[in-house]
Amino acid sequence: MSTRPSSLARLQGSVGVWTGAHELLAPTTHAGVAGEIEALGYSALWFPESWGRESLTSATLLLSATSTLTVATGITNIWGRDAVASVNAARTLNATFAERFVLGLGVSHQPLVERLRGHQYLSPLANMRDYLGAMDKAPMHAHEAEQPYARVIAALRPKMLALGAEMADG
């Protein structure tokens, strides 16, 4: 991706929180959790997607409850939805909530992919490359289609790190 989206630029040099603790509470409490994190002065709330709620729905709840907090998925599992659904959700969330959304994507781990989701965990790097390519080609016939959004990927090894530099914002 060519230029750094404003949601990522605002986070440079700041401190955020990564937690999934709010997933253990009723969804109606998201406002209190996100509001408290925002009131404490943190710039971002990063949260995982694994055994809890669907990440893009959770992001909507968290963003709705705040006015300055950046909300980031860390990570949204690429096996949980197709690339068109992911990119169009990211575009919509970013446009709706004043460019405060960051889409963090990842390939997850073999047990979660195979046992929980019923997919074969083959070639994570190739699957992520194909997924990002499909996102780049995804059509959207709505106002926010051309608005930039932030996309980062989870990476543990050099080739996935290089892919993050090549096809994402990091």
pLDDT digits 0-9 by tens, 34-56: 999 999 999 999 999 977 899 99
Quick one: DSSP state of residue 41? T
Instruction: Give the position of tokens 């989870």.
Output: 154
Give the list of residues 6+ apart from residue 102 with CB closer than 8 angstroms, or none: 5, 7, 8, 11, 44, 46, 70, 71, 72, 73, 150, 151, 152
Average pLDDT rounded to a whole number, residues 21-28 = 90
CA distance 41 to 12: 15
In angstroms, the first-to-last Cα distance of the chain is: 9
In the chain, the amino acid numbered 29 is T
| Stretch (H or E) spanning 17 | strand 16-18
Structure tokens at 84: 């068109």
Q: Are 31 and 38 in contact (CB under 8 A)?
A: no
The tens digit of pLDDT for each residue in 60-94 reads: 999 999 999 999 999 999 999 999 999 999 999 99
